[in-house]
Chains A and B, each alone.
Chain A
Amino acid sequence: MSDSSVSLADIISTVEFNYSGDLLATGDKGGRVVIFQREQENKSRPHSRGEYNVYSTFQSHEPEFDYLKSLEIEEKINKIRWLPQQNAAHFLLSTNDKTIKLWKISERDKRAEGYNLKDEDGRLRDPFRITALRVPKLKPMDLMVEASPRRIFANAHTYHINSISVNSDHETYLSADDLRINLWHLEITDRSFNIVDIKPVNMEELTEVITAAEFHPHQCNVFVYSSSKGTVRLCDMRSSALCDRHSKFFEEPEDPSSRSFFSEIISSISDVKFSHSGRYMMTRDYLSVKVWDLNMESRPVETHQVHEYLRSKLCSLYENDCIFDKFECCWSGSDSAIMTGSYNNFFRMFDRNTRRDVTLEASRENSKPRASLKPRKVCTGGKRKKDEISVDSLDFNKKILHTAWHPAENIIAVAATNNLYIFQDKVN
């Protein structure tokens, strides 16, 4: 598919597995949410185990126009976060730049038949004609998946929302924009509690913005937020109502020898994720992924280069705006591996135990069903070996910004522009 024929609205803007991994939600620039469900194991179709098929599609957000400020509000879904499942229905939060919505996704596979007051096709029956009463019976019907908005959390953010994160208490969640973080209760839509505010009194003094925020997976009073200056602050909500003072401050001193015009841009953190264990967190900046031990603020415990060969191309990447791309990162279920995206539909995986890394490509030409992915290599200079790709032939329009890892198994979801790829470990 050529780039020109890709509709902008179809570009996937977020990917997220639910807690069990059976559901995978994607959001796109057109404000739609598509949910995939994993096929159940079925003896008659042994190969279909693990396949994800479309489960539900709905329009989450529409474009809006703020007449007071003459601003258009994009319908693009910035983030989706699932709630832990508590009953038969599934709940997720989806957000655009300004409004967060709680959606309930429920199944209906039975239908009541035999109403007294209306016919099967819905027409009202003449009450005088009814001579007998009957009890409506539930009959099976084709599975229908309905999505309905249960809560709308609006008007709490002046700036663009970049993150939402559900708390481990399953009652509250946070939403973060460029300058503020708000705490919500899932049941209450008309108020939120501001817990971080870095807006300076004089906007001319603005030097950094919030780029991502997340709650700790186990400690419901702890959250972190990253900044455009490459720092992460960990805050404890027990210490004060307004968490402008951090409890911990994570920053790696800059290497002065690598300073350039673009040092500030490439140090801006685009994503921060806690490990499942809660002991580590990972940050993604433009060229690298760093793993931090929460007990050590002075520097990360691991640094993985994603595409260091781009360091000499920063000026071009600034010109074509690629340097502003916000890559996400994710942990494997066991925290033994981490994954993040790159250009040319490449994505990178780092095994923390073996210290090995691999570059893979998400593209139709290179992946047939049930064929293994071949590792790719980028040639950084000198002679290009066979099968290597030179830096100059990378396609910077094909970027993988969003990836997700199944919480328990080695199944990954990779969003390449408007296509979703799902890969899994070979099962013998």
Chain B
Amino acid sequence: MEFKLEAHRIVSISLGKIYNSRVQRGGIKLHKNLLVSLVLRSARQVYLSDPCPGLYLAGPAGSPAVPPPQPGEPAAGPPAGWGEPPPPAAGAAWPEIEPQPERPADPATPRAGDAEPGAPMTGAGETVRGGEVEAAEAAWRRVEGPREAAEGGAGGPAGGSDGFPEGLREARRHCGCPPGAADRPGPLGACPRVDCCCAPRPAEDEPPAPPAVGPRKRGAAGVGGGPAPGSSPLKKPRRNSEEQSGGAAEEEEEEEMETGNVANLISIFGSSFSGLLRKSPGGGREEGEGEESGPEAAEPGQICCDKPVLRDINPWSTAIVAF
């Protein structure tokens, strides 16, 4: 649980750094943002792999447990050695980290020339984005999972939340089951309550709903509201005194922090994020198409950062993109 907290905090800090880098003098520093994205990735992996009892156990092969590792993703292995070794369940849940090619981006990569090819880039971008949407949904569902597990009688969404955003309440059925639960096999899929209203659920309620609806509503509710990142320290002392496998209240607080944080981040990002995504990489692609001369000049300086960094911060990025 401590790993999750720490990881969550680091994710927030990292996103803040990436955001601030946009306004720094001299343009976006590629090196620093690359390092921040690596930290973000590690923190995200820890956050997602930190086991809550029973729920992260590997589902069937088809379950979108983990986004397909992108080529070149560093083998930030299982969080061993970060203090106490995580329980074995985490290892089981975490699919093999493929031994990544040592330096994939590096020497052997055929150089297609410096001019940014407009069309292929777009294609690759779209494909990746598609995969990430899936991953994002998986992440959102998984994130809701712990609440469900510990749920039993904990009082559902209304319980003990200061500023618990509207959106999340709506996204979760009042029985507390995660959206789309019925469609997913395995322990994650089963609604913990027998009398759950969500048992027969039409398929169309599925994927678009959680990431699209949730964040958007969360954004609306969260602007100026929601538990600020500052609320984490307040919750920490209480958390430490509770048992690890503890009550739903604990899980819920955690979820509140996370969503509240996301709400704040989305409100920050929302207004300018689409600009961030479109301006350089998108803009760069469009400009790059058909531009033959001066490959150096054709590459917008900002392209050097936005794309790899933003791709790395899914599921946050995809949620925000949806927003």
Q: Which residues of B contact A319 (CB under 8 A)?
A: 13
Q: In the complex, A240→B107 CA distance in Å?
A: 13
Taking the complex as formed, is A396 at the interface, i.e. its CB lies under 8 A from any CB of chain B?
no
Known: A71-B302, A97-B26, A204-B128. A324 touches B32 (CB 8 A): yes
Q: In the complex, A266→B106 CA distance in Å?
A: 21
Taking the complex as formed, is B194 at the interface, i.e. its CB lies under 8 A from any CB of chain A?
no
Are A265 and B39 in touch, CB under 8 angstroms? Answer: yes
Q: Give min CB distance, B247 to chain A, whole Å.
A: 28
Q: In the complex, A157→B301 CA distance in Å?
A: 10
Q: In the complex, A68→B43 CA distance in Å?
A: 36
Q: Is the interface of A mostly helix, strand, loop or mixed?
A: loop
Known: A72-B27, A207-B72. A260 touches B38 (CB 8 A): no
The number of inter-chain residue pairs (CB within 8 angstroms) is: 143
Most buried by A among B128, B301, B302: B301
Q: In the complex, A197→B34 CA distance in Å?
A: 17
Are A71 and B35 in touch, CB under 8 angstroms? Answer: no
Q: Which residues of A contact B124 (CB under 8 A)?
A: 202, 204
Q: In the complex, A265→B70 CA distance in Å?
A: 20
Write the B23-51 contact mask toward A (1 if CB under 8 angstroms, else 0): 00111011110110011001100100000
Q: In the complex, A260→B301 CA distance in Å?
A: 31
Q: Which residues of A contact B225 (CB under 8 A)?
A: none
Are B311 and A204 in touch, CB under 8 angstroms? Answer: yes
Are A72 and B296 in touch, CB under 8 angstroms? Answer: no
Q: Which residues of A contact B72 (CB under 8 A)?
A: 200, 204-207
Q: In the complex, A13→B308 CA distance in Å?
A: 29
Q: In the complex, A71→B299 CA distance in Å?
A: 13
Complex interface residues of chain A between 72 and 109 (CB less than 8 A to chain B):
72-74, 76, 97
Are A206 and B105 in touch, CB under 8 angstroms? Answer: yes
A interface bracket (residues with beta carbon within 8 Å of B): 35 or more
Taking the complex as formed, is B121 at the interface, i.e. its CB lies under 8 A from any CB of chain A?
yes
Write the A154-176 contact mask toward B (1 if CB under 8 angstroms, else 0): 01111110100000000000000
Known: A209-B31, A257-B81, A260-B82. A315 touches B10 (CB 8 A): yes
Q: Give min CB distance, A318 to chain B, whole Å.
A: 7
Q: In the complex, A245→B109 CA distance in Å?
A: 11
User: CB-nearest residue of chain B relative to A209?
Assistant: B31
Are B25 and A72 in touch, CB under 8 angstroms? Answer: yes
Q: In the complex, A197→B295 CA distance in Å?
A: 13
Write the A204-219 contact mask toward B (1 if CB under 8 angstroms, else 0): 1111110100000000
Write the B244-282 contact mask toward A (1 if CB under 8 angstroms, else 0): 000000000000000000000000000000000000010
Q: Apart from A97-B27, A205-B72, what are 5 other A-B pairs with CB-CB below 8 Å?
A: A71-B27, A205-B105, A207-B72, A211-B31, A257-B81
Q: What is the interface of chain A, defined by CB distance below 8 A to chain B?
A: 66, 68-69, 71-74, 76, 97, 155-160, 162, 178-179, 197-209, 211, 228-229, 244-246, 256-262, 264-265, 268, 315, 318-319, 321, 324
